[in-house]
Amino acid sequence: MDDKSIMENLLNTAKGACDLYLHGTIESPTMDVHQAFDNALNDNLCMEDDIFKKMSAKGWYTTEKAEQKKIDKVRSQFSGM
């Protein structure tokens, strides 16, 4: 397995963990449990950001800037809601 694949797997795992921690935070029965999940979520989001930045720096995770025309179309589509 090459480095890019390893980083993709790490990023996908971190994203999945964020989903679990988010639901744990939302559905916590006590403040202590809520805080534990919230701390884990924040730590995991920082780790996910670090992974993304490293992948982006190597050109392994590229993004495109959205065209203003497309942004305006979506904005007008949902502005009546």
In order, the DSSP letters of 4-24 are HHHHHHHHHHHHHHHHHHHHH
DSSP 8-state class, residue 66 = P
- The pLDDT of residue 59 is above 80: yes
Q: What is the pLDDT at residue 79? A: 85
Q: What is the pLDDT at residue 80? A: 75
Average of per-residue pLDDT across 58-62: 93
CB 75 within 8 A of CB 19: no
Question: Among the listed ranges 2-6, 31-35, 77-81, which one has the minimum average pLDDT value?
Answer: 77-81
Give the CA dihedral 19, 20, 21, 24, nearest 10 degrees: 120
Domain ranges of the chain: 3-78
Give the mean pLDDT of the chain: 94
Q: What's the pTM?
A: 0.76
DSSP 8-state class, residue 80 = T
